[in-house]
């Protein structure tokens, strides 16, 4: 979700039957497709769209990854939708580069 130019999706794509990248910016999905071609990744497809508007029938997934994009989404709505798209035992993966502790928490020593 929020795949951008495919930076995170392309590396592990070869370990899956199919990888699907979703991004609201069609220029990003076009660039991701170009990058996939340059790297010889043939088992990926690119879907323009927002996480809040996940297309019906997109599929069932072993893992759904948000890398620096979940904070931009309607998190409760998207998390609920994604949970329904995961196969049993599937994973919701959130990659963030947070530098500051969330409000109300104490950072580790």
Q: How far apart are CA 36 and CA 38, in angstroms?
A: 5
CB 47 within 8 A of CB 57: no
CB 32 within 8 A of CB 12: no
CB 36 within 8 A of CB 8: no
pTM: 0.79
- Per-residue pLDDT of 57-70, as tens digits, reads 788 999 999 888 88
Nearest residue to 39 via CA among 19, 67, 63, 59: 19
- Per-residue pLDDT of 2-47, as tens digits, reads 899 999 999 999 899 999 999 999 999 999 999 999 999 999 999 9
Q: How far apart are CA 109 and CA 87, in angstroms?
A: 37
- Per-residue pLDDT of 80-109, as tens digits, reads 999 999 999 999 998 887 666 566 666 555
């Amino acid at each position: 979700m929020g795949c951008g130019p495919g930076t995170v999706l392309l590396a592990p794509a070869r370990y899956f039957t199919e990888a699907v990248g979703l991004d609201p910016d069609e220029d990003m999905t076009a660039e991701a497709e170009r990058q996939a071609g340059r790297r010889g990744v043939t088992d990926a497809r690119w879907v323009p769209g927002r996480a809040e508007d996940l297309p019906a029938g997109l599929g069932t997934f072993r893992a759904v990854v948000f890398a620096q994009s979940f904070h931009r989404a309607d998190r409760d709505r998207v998390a609920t939708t994604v949970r329904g798209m995961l196969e049993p035992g599937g994973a919701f993966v959130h990659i963030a580069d947070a530098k500051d502790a969330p409000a109300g928490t104490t950072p580790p020593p």
